[in-house]
Structure 1
Amino acid sequence: MSKQKNKIQFHTENSIGELSPHMFGANLEHIGEAIYKNGVWAEVIENRKFCGADKFIWETGVKDDHLDFGIIRPWKGFNPSAKHVMYAHSNSEYIVKGDEQINRFGSGKQSQQITIRENSEINRGIKQSININFVDQEHRFSIMLKGTGQKVYIQIGELNFVIKSRTKWFEFKKNIKFTDNKTTKNLSISINSDEVFIANCSLMPKSTIYGFRKDITKLIKEWVPSYLRWPGGNYLSGYNWIHGIGDKNYRLPFYDFAWYEWENNDVGTDEFMQWCEYIGSEPMITINTGNGTPAEGAAWIEYLTGSVKTKYGKLRKKNGRSQPYNLKTIFIGNEMFGGWQIGHTDAKTYALKYDKFVKAIKKVNPNLRYIAVGACMDHFGHWNEIVLKNIKERIDELSIHYYSIRTEKDKIHPHYTSRYIPTVAASTEVESMLDKTIAEIKNNTKKPITIAFDEWNTYVEAEHPNYIENYNIADALYAGSLLNACINRGDMITNTGIYHLINVMGNYRIDGQKIWKTPTTLILELFTKYHKGKILKTSVNSPTFESPKIGKQPIYKKNKLIDASATYHKNQICLSVVNKSEKESLIISIPTHKKVSSNYLVNGNSPTDINDKKNLEKVSIKKNKLECGKDYIKVPPHSFSLFLIKV
């Protein structure tokens, strides 16, 4: 193949338009371990608000009660004894009043009750094993409880201290510094008389970024996604923003029926928006059109962007933020055609609902950009056609989502080392989908509406509840090809957002103290940093190859071996090239130029190399390692290459 003519053509005078500032974004959704437990949020204690059900196991027959009955999971009994101590999830004793979500999965408005039935010489209570990722740092422990004035004993690993309870709810805080470097420790809360109710407790490093882990935040700042879309995703269709503001200890947890898990509600609007400001990524908010109302959506926008003279602007100021947030673009709903969404609906009803939401929101902020729910091609009952013909209010972009391969629900998933060829060929299918969707939009509206391709990725082995993928070089090259395709259609595609940012199908992976980037992240870093300005019309001549069927993806007989895109800014061309060949280096003819000022390479030693907790940087970005001439470049096999060319 390398002996055949490979050619990339472009010219600085032949442009299809300006590259959108939203081309390299990402999603952050409340799902799996993206936010809590092993995610980006720095909280150490799991289920710190004691929400959900206790561990009920009827396995002891008439012998005795289960010793952990009444203890809210994942907490366990500390010196449990059916004779001496009783536990309960108390739904009558709590720190706030008002409505709660009641369902078969338990309650979010309850406290952990510990009652001593018969005095004993040892303390009894609850415990859990915790992992201290930053054991050398000072931490802040807090607990909200009420009792009878008795002593409450706290043990965190090697540290022990005593609190005197009160008959009314109160919060105790203490800064602690560990003396033992062991990262796995036991946390216990116990008493030896009367009873105590615990509403919540917390253990976090004192040094965080608005509550987010500093280490992973620093890593994300090396990319700076064009935007971050939050809070979903499917999660969004049952989310009420008003419950996620103010003092985190008083925010009620709730059960998320989209992803079937309890939500602590510690990460809300202010935490997300301030984190985006710190990273430098533009925030994009998705409005709940599932079980939400236009009034709720408008109130949220007023909280985010209204002056302190408005009702919800005053509330924002009360919560510590006087200045409005810099929010420019919002999504009106998510995948409303799908039966997996709360409040899913038909296309015409969604269009009518869209107009009601936009009308309400425009009254509090007339300057926003709006993204409507779309679908790929003419799928979901000609969704795009009906939506575009029935929406009367402003619409700037139509959202489409597409995941490639789709073997995640198969009984056996292909191993990541076995799927190189169909993975790099998956971009062929994406290009076909994009072209058909563009045609669908142009056929059904004369408005200047473009595409927000705001959810995409390969979807191979991610399963509930953690949705982990082994993203390797093949997935990175797929991403490079997909982004090249989007840039080459940048007159119609003005937004792309990979799914997902952390852990869940994640660009960044966290495993305790270990954090790392997937190969895909490296390519996104390069695209975001160097592609800007005019999009140059780019053509590629290269050999083709055949790819086998995999998952929902059919056989493709003519996949190009090379793809590329080029942009032009301040006398410099940025050229990104993907070589999909497993084994061959390729010499590629390009237009004559002054010089290649620098080049960057992502390839690995094998076509399925991967970064993981054992080898965090097996795949990395290599600078100035590529052979370049006045009118050619040479790229190694299974590689993504980026060239900065002076003209």
Structure 2
Amino acid sequence: MSRATTRRHTTNSLLAAIATVGLLTACGGGHAQEARVTIDASQTAAPISKYIYGQFIEHLGRCIYGGIWAEMLVDRKFFYPVGSKESPWTVIGPEGSVTMDRHQPFVGVHSPRVALRGDGTVAGIAHGGLGVLAGKEYVGYIWVKGAPEAAPITVRLVSGNNPGNAGEMDIPEVGSDYRKVTFRFRPAESTDDARLEIVSKGRGYFYVGTVSLMPADNIHGMRADTIALLKELDSPIYRWPGGNFVSGYDWRDGIGDRDKRPPRKNPAWQGIDSNDFGIDEFMTFCRIVNTEPLVVVNTGLGDVEMALQELEYANGSVETKMGQLRAKNGHPEPYRVKYWGIGNEMYGNWQLGHMPLEEYVKKHNEFVAAMRKLDPTIVAIAVGNVGPWTEGMFRHCADFIDLMSEHFYVGAKKDLLEHVEQAARRVREIADAHRRYRKEILGGKAIPVALDEWNYWYGEHLYGELGTRYFLRDGLGVAKALNEYARNTDVYFMANYAQTVNVIGAIKTTKTAASFETTGLVLALYRKHFGQVPVATTCSNSVLDVQAALSEAKDAVVLAVVNPTAERQHLILQSTAVKLESPGRAWEIAGDDPMLFNEPGKPPRVSIVEREIPDAGKVEVAPYSVTLIRFPAKR
């Protein structure tokens, strides 16, 4: 994902590809309320790769921390000094009672030291702005040490102005060594401004190492509500950890004892990274949501040795040095990561380690050659950008590329039809460019595209850094883009929607709730119900976007219809080489206003509605809608 974007907003031969594009065109004038749709099952294209429904998560904004990861404390390792303007932690007690001690810090460069007067004056630290729900359990722990007379130290969760009303626990003893103490609270009221306090009115001093607070229903440290939606999304692959982030990321900071991993300033975006979510947590995430990993290595400020160590850590046996380290960290079995991104957007001057193309091609080839030598099974995904960069990569690196990455983002358009069309247009333009490259540069060789970042990107940041809102019109656009991927299966092997949770993602969260955006509903709908084998589809109304696909078993036809108009549309269906049978089933995402949106914690304004279609020859679709209709079929 590029900062520049925020400012500007296996395969067939070339001839077969061109023929396929001609066959699988979108609907052909006007706003007529009745349209004829012809489905010709005798003319099929290459199957739709499941990886078209991929996702991308990056250490940016509240995508992982505050979205996927369940930790409620923003700076639990005290990267910033307590009481500073950047820190979420405040001082309780007299001025000067809290200092940041740099002598043998628990983690990072310093740890908070609380000085106690011994006269009954309360002193300590507090973290506010926490979201809690009444009756829900929250669990956590604190690493603490201090003078014996500092005890008891009280840890309490406060909601409102009543101390201890959400839970309180005393630590009766402390000593000269850090000790881990767990706690559990159950608030009596819901609030978005609860406060965790760590205080004492004893004598001497105490130190705080790290603190953690999570909902008790967390799943291996991940939010249960977010995970439930991710399972519905059912993406087959996730790209991680970036994105711009990866070009300044040292993956070795994110392994081992989670409390001892150093917090870092996010190298590409705002805020800090606690390193709580590293490669082991990402692999656990993939197992929980039943998906495959795509790991991107750092070709920005990173070097080949760093990439080789990461590859060996992920895929090496326990006989290897890094495999032994992985086993020591609790994961003896290799992760067997197949897909590896070789850097991110290295063509951009916003990218850490950016260099001219003539230099980068050497670096790319060096990385891939070394990684293939260590593990010949990997699939290497190169950095592309349609135009001179992709062309140069193909000319100098073709033997070191298995998939070519491309990215695009589109913004807002005042005209609804243009707004809905623009993402699909970019999908089509990139596909056309790659067909030219195959003919003019690659000598007919087909290197498939991994469009591993794509989305709409515009609007206010309502959900943290770059946390934009999506509307029904954006869902229509995403659906039309998915139809376009189906028309270009000769080019596209993978597409990763950015960035899944919060930021510009398909799911948005508050402190206590999560919900699908309109775009997320569309992605989940297509993933679950669209067909696998695209067939030639024509329509008499060019405003509608219609595409059909056979099921994998070829015993059903699924018709996808995007209606970006304010009018209900009546479709008359005709089929060739296949007989559509009644009744069918339809799944519809629709609304009376293209600017409808969903909000976490509130009843959805846009949802998926299922209904029966009694007549295989006639279908009605609602205004401003995405509809998938499945008919049993006989050939």
TM interval, short-chain normalised: 0.7 to 0.9
What does 1:475-486 correspond to in 2, within 5 Å? 475-486=474-485
Q: Cα distance 1:206–1:402, how it changes in 2: closer, same or farther (>3 A)?
A: same
Q: Which structure has more helix as a fraction of its residues? A: 2
Shift of 1:197: 2.4
**1:564–1:575 Cα contact (<8 Å) kept:** yes
Shift of 1:569: 2.1
Q: Secondary structure at the match of 2:42?
A: coil
Query: TM-score, normalization: structure 1?
Result: 0.85
CA RMSD of aligned residues (A): 2.4
Give aligned pairs, total. 586
C-alpha distance in structure 2 between counterparts of 1:396 and 1:161, whole Å? 56
Aligned to 2:104: 93
1:391 to 380, 397, 403: 397
C-alpha distance in structure 2 between counterparts of 1:354 and 1:251, whole Å? 29
Aligned to 1:452: 450
Shift of 1:578: 0.7
Shift of 1:274: 1.0
**1:74–1:128 Cα contact (<8 Å) kept:** yes
Letter in 1 for 2:623: P
Aligned to 1:610: 597
Q: Secondary structure at the match of 1:11?
A: strand
2:590 aligned with 1:636: no
C-alpha distance in structure 1 between counterparts of 2:238 and 2:454, whole Å? 14
Q: Which moved more, 1:238-247 or 1:175-184?
A: 175-184
Aligned to 1:178: 186
Letter in 2 for 1:211: G
**1:139–1:203 Cα contact (<8 Å) kept:** yes
C-alpha distance in structure 2 between counterparts of 1:348 and 1:508, whole Å? 39
Higher relative contact order, chain-length normalized (CA < 8 Å, sep 6+): 2
Letter in 2 for 1:561: L
Cα displacement string for residues 477-515 of structure 1 (whole angstroms, at most 9, x for unaligned residues) = 000000100111011111111112111112111112222
C-alpha distance in structure 1 between counterparts of 2:347 and 2:614, whole Å? 49
Cα displacement string for residues 428-462 of structure 1 (whole angstroms, at most 9, x for unaligned residues) = 53245224432343232243201111111111115
**2:133–2:187 Cα contact (<8 Å) kept:** no
Q: Which runs of 5+ in 1 are unaligned?
A: 58-71, 97-107, 408-413, 544-559
Aligned to 1:77: 91
C-alpha distance in structure 2 between counterparts of 1:147 and 1:614, whole Å? 42
Aligned to 2:516: 517
What does 1:434-513 correspond to in 2, within 5 Å? 434-442=430-438, 443-446=440-443, 447-463=445-461, 466-513=465-512
Letter in 2 for 1:523: V
Aligned to 1:62: none
Aligned to 1:15: 44
**1:515–1:616 Cα contact (<8 Å) kept:** no
Shift of 1:631: 3.3
Q: Which moved more, 1:477-486 or 1:525-534?
A: 525-534
C-alpha distance in structure 2 between counterparts of 1:2 and 1:628, whole Å? 25
Letter in 2 for 1:144: W
C-alpha distance in structure 1 between counterparts of 2:81 and 2:353, whole Å? 26
Q: Which runs of 5+ in 2 are unaligned?
A: 1-29, 159-163
Q: Which moved more, 1:581-590 or 1:382-391?
A: 581-590
Aligned to 1:248: 258
Q: Secondary structure at the match of 1:144?
A: strand
C-alpha distance in structure 1 between counterparts of 2:188 and 2:345, whole Å? 49
C-alpha distance in structure 1 between counterparts of 2:177 and 2:239, whole Å? 37
Aligned to 2:196: 187
2:566 aligned with 1:566: no
Q: Which moved more, 1:334-343 or 1:1-10?
A: 1-10
Aligned to 1:284: 294
Aligned to 2:75: 47
Letter in 2 for 1:400: E
**1:110–1:199 Cα contact (<8 Å) kept:** no
C-alpha distance in structure 1 between counterparts of 2:31 and 2:234, whole Å? 36
Q: Cα distance 1:233–1:596, how it changes in 2: closer, same or farther (>3 A)?
A: farther
**1:255–1:262 Cα contact (<8 Å) kept:** yes
Aligned to 2:420: 424
Q: Secondary structure at the match of 2:239?
A: strand
**1:237–1:341 Cα contact (<8 Å) kept:** yes
Shift of 1:528: 0.8
**1:28–1:500 Cα contact (<8 Å) kept:** yes
2:149 aligned with 1:145: no
Aligned to 1:32: 61
**1:89–1:110 Cα contact (<8 Å) kept:** yes
**2:346–2:383 Cα contact (<8 Å) kept:** yes
C-alpha distance in structure 2 between counterparts of 1:197 and 1:364, whole Å? 45
Aligned-pair identity (%)? 27
Shift of 1:194: 2.3
C-alpha distance in structure 2 between counterparts of 1:578 and 1:429, whole Å? 15
Q: Secondary structure at the match of 1:303?
A: helix
Cα displacement string for residues 40-94 of structure 1 (whole angstroms, at most 9, x for unaligned residues) = 211122211000355558xxxxxxxxxxxxxx71111112x23xx4322222331
**2:421–2:480 Cα contact (<8 Å) kept:** no
2:170 to 151, 155, 162: 162
Q: Cα distance 1:281–1:428, how it changes in 2: closer, same or farther (>3 A)?
A: closer
Aligned to 2:571: 587
Shift of 1:397: 1.2
Aligned to 1:555: none
**1:228–1:281 Cα contact (<8 Å) kept:** yes
2:388 aligned with 1:401: no
Q: Cα distance 1:148–1:175, how it changes in 2: closer, same or farther (>3 A)?
A: closer
Q: Cα distance 1:567–1:352, how it changes in 2: closer, same or farther (>3 A)?
A: farther
Shift of 1:130: 4.7
